[in-house]
C-alpha cells in the first residue's frame, strides 16, 4: 500500500533502516520481553523486499524475463548459518551477524537501488522531475509528484480488491495448503532429527545444506522449465498466451512435493538413515521451488498492474500457513506418528491440486467475469 502511494524506493529505504535498528535490538536484548518485541518489529519491517519483490521484477524486466527472475528464491541460508554459530558461540552472535547483513543490505539500497516505478501512460515531456539521488531515496521527490499516483485510500483499496479476484484467492489458498508444511518442517526440524539421530547444533546445521542444494537445483530447473512451457504454449496457440499456461509446471512439481512429504514421514518413523531423510526433504523443497514460481508468474501475468499486491498476498499465504502449522507439527507427530501425520500433509497437497485444475479449466472465464482492476497506476 505504501509503495503504491509513496513510490518503491523510499519505502524500501525507510523500512530497511528500521529493520537494521531492530536487528541490533534483537542482538542486544537483555530480557525475553525486549527480545520478543524486537523480533516482532523486525519481522514487520525486514520483509519489505520479500513481500514487494514482484513489483521490482515487473517494473524492470520484460515479460519473457520475469519468470526467470521470480525463480531466484532461497529462504534457507539463515537456519544453516545460525546452527553452526550456536554450536560454539553465545546466542546473540547470530543476531549480530543478522545485524551486519542488514547493514550490508541497507548500504546496497543506498548505493544501487533506484525508484523503479514509471508511469508509461504519461508522455515523456510531462513526466515529473526525478529529483536528486537523496530526494528519491528519502521520498521527497516522489512526494512532490504524489498526485500522479494513487491516493492513500486508493492504495489501501488496491490490496483488498486484488484478493477479491477469484483466481488470486484460489492461487493463494493452494499456496497456503502446500507451502505451509515447508515452513513447519523448517521450524521444527531440530525437534525431529535431534532425538532420532543424536544430532547437535552443528549436525543440524549441516542438515540444512539439504534445502539449500534443493533450492539451487530448483532454480536451475526452473530457469528453463517455465520458459519452455510458455514458449510451447505460444507456439501451439499461434502467438497467443494465457496466464494459465504457467500452472502446467505444477504437474511436474506436485508429485515431488507429495512423495517428499510421504517419505519424510517414513524416514522419521522407521528411523531410516539420515541421508534418506535428506534426499526426501530435498525432494519436497525442490518441488515447492518450482510451484512457487509457477503461482507467482500466473498471478502477475493475470494482473500485471497489481504485481505488488499479488506478491504481498502470496507471501502472506505462505507465511500464515507455516505459522499455524508450526504450532502443531510436533505434537501431531507425537500423537499419531510421523508416518500418518506427514501422510495426511501429503494428502492435503494432493487434494489442493483440485484448485489448480479449476484454474486451468475455468481460470480465464473467472478472470473475464471478475473484470479488470482499473487501478489508477500499475
pLDDT of amino acid 187 = 80
**Mean pLDDT calculated for residue range 267-272:** 94
Question: Which of 16-20, 177-181, 210-214 is the least confident region?
Answer: 210-214
Sorting pLDDT into bands at 50, 70 and 90, what band is 75? low
Whose CA is closest to 289, among 175, 169, 171? Answer: 175
Any domain includes 111: yes
Question: Which of 37-41, 111-115, 215-219, 338-342 is the least confident region?
Answer: 215-219
Place of cell 531440530: 190
pLDDT of amino acid 188 = 84
Any domain includes 378: no
Any domain includes 377: no
**Mean pLDDT calculated for residue range 81-93:** 80
**Mean pLDDT calculated for residue range 8-32:** 96
Sorting pLDDT into bands at 50, 70 and 90, what band is 160? very high
**Mean pLDDT calculated for residue range 33-59:** 91
- Tell whether the model's pLDDT for residue 139 goes beyond 80: yes
pLDDT of amino acid 83 = 72
- Tell whether the model's pLDDT for residue 64 goes beyond 80: yes
**Number of structural domains found in the chain:** 1
Whose CA is closest to 42, among 24, 30, 57, 59? Answer: 24
* Residues contacting residue 145 through CB under 8 Å, at least 6 positions apart: 128
Q: Hey, how many other C-beta atoms are within 10 angstroms of the C-beta on 7?
A: 21
- Tell whether the model's pLDDT for residue 283 goes beyond 90: yes
Sorting pLDDT into bands at 50, 70 and 90, what band is 3? very high
pLDDT of amino acid 254 = 96
**pLDDT digit string (tens) for 306-318?**
999 999 999 999 8
Sorting pLDDT into bands at 50, 70 and 90, what band is 212? confident
**pLDDT digit string (tens) for 221-255?**
887 898 899 999 999 999 999 999 999 999 999 99
Any domain includes 85: yes
**Mean pLDDT calculated for residue range 85-104:** 88
SS3 sequence of the chain: CHHHHHCHHHHHHHHHHHHHHHHHHHHHCCCHHHHHHHHHHHHHHHCHHHHHHHHHHHHHCCHHHHHHHHCCCCCCHHHHHHHHHHHHCCCHHHHHHHHHHHHHHHHHHHHHCCCCCCCCCCCHHHCCCCCCHHHHHHCHHHHHCHHHCCCHHHHHHHHHHHHCCHHHHHHHHHHHHHHHHHHHHHHHHHHHHHHHHCCCHHHHHHHCHHHHHHHHHHHHHHHHHHHHHHHHHHHHCCCCCCHHHHHHHHHHHHHHHHHHHHHHHHHHHHCCCHHHHHHHHHHHHHHHHHHHHHHHHHHHHHCHHHHHHHHHHHHHHHHHHHHHHHHHHHHHHHHHCHHHHHHHHHHHHHHHHHHHHHHHHHHHHHHHHHCCCCCCCC
Any domain includes 151: yes
- Tell whether the model's pLDDT for residue 74 goes beyond 70: no
Domain that holds residue 360: 2-370
Any domain includes 375: no
Dihedral angle of Cα 341, 344, 346, 350, to the nearest 10 degrees: -170
83 vs 201: which has the higher pLDDT? 201
**pLDDT digit string (tens) for 246-259?**
999 999 999 999 99
- Tell whether the model's pLDDT for residue 204 goes beyond 80: yes
- CATH code, domain carrying 171: 1.20.1250.20
Any domain includes 376: no
Any domain includes 254: yes
Percent share of the chain, pLDDT over 90: 64
pLDDT of amino acid 30 = 93
**Mean pLDDT calculated for residue range 111-139:** 91
Amino acid at each position: 500500500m505504501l509503495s503504491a502511494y509513496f513510490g518503491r524506493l523510499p519505502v524500501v529505504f525507510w523500512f530497511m533502516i528500521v529493520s537494521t535498528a531492530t536487528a541490533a535490538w534483537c542482538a542486544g536484548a537483555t530480557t525475553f520481553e525486549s527480545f520478543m518485541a524486537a523480533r516482532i518489529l523486525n519481522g514487520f519491517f525486514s520483509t519489505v523486499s520479500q513481500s514487494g519483490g514482484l513489483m521490482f521484477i515487473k517494473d524492470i524486466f520484460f515479460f519473457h524475463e520475469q519468470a526467470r527472475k521470480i525463480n531466484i528464491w532461497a529462504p534457507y541460508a539463515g537456519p544453516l548459518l545460525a546452527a553452526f554459530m550456536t554450536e560454539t558461540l553465545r546466542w546473540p552472535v547470530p543476531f549480530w551477524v543478522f545485524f551486519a547483513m542488514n547493514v550490508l543490505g541497507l548500504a546496497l539500497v543506498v548505493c544501487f537501488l533506484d525508484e523503479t516505478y514509471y508511469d508509461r501512460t504519461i508522455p515523456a515531456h510531462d513526466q515529473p522531475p526525478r529529483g536528486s539521488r537523496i530526494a528519491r531515496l528519502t521520498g521527497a521527490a516522489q512526494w512532490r509528484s504524489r498526485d500522479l499516483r494513487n491516493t492513500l485510500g486508493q492504495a489501501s483499496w488496491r490490496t483488498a480488491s486484488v484478493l477479491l479476484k477469484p483466481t488470486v484467492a484460489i492461487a493463494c489458498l493452494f499456496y497456503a495448503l502446500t507451502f505451509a508444511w515447508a515452513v513447519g518442517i523448517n521450524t521444527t526440524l531440530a525437534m525431529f532429527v535431534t532425538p532420532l539421530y543424536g544430532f547437535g547444533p552443528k549436525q543440524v546445521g549441516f542438515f540444512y545444506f539439504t534445502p539449500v542444494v534443493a533450492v539451487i537445483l530448483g532454480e536451475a530447473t526452473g530457469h528453463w522449465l517455465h520458459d519452455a512451457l510458455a514458449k510451447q504454449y505460444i507456439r501451439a496457440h499461434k502467438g497467443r498466451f494465457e496466464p494459465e499456461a504457467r500452472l502446467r509446471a505444477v504437474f511436474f512439481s506436485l508429485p515431488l512435493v507429495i512423495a517428499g512429504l510421504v517419505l519424510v514421514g517414513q524416514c522419521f518413523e522407521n528411523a531410516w538413515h539420515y541421508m534418506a531423510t535428506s534426499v526426501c526433504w530435498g525432494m519436497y523443497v525442490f518441488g515447492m521451488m518450482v510451484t512457487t514460481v509457477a503461482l507467482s508468474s500466473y498471478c502477475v501475468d493475470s494482473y500485471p498492474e497489481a504485481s505488488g499486491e499479488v506478491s504481498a498476498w502470496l507471501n502472506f499465504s505462505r507465511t500464515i500457513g507455516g505459522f499455524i502449522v508450526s504450532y502443531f507439527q510436533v505434537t501431531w507427530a507425537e500423537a499419531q506418528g510421523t508416518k500418518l501425520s506427514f501422510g495426511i500433509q501429503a494428502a492435503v497437497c494432493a487434494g489442493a491440486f483440485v484448485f489448480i485444475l479449476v484454474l486451468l479449466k475455468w481460470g480465464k472465464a473467472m478472470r473475464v467475469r471478475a473484470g479488470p482492476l482499473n487501478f489508477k497506476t500499475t
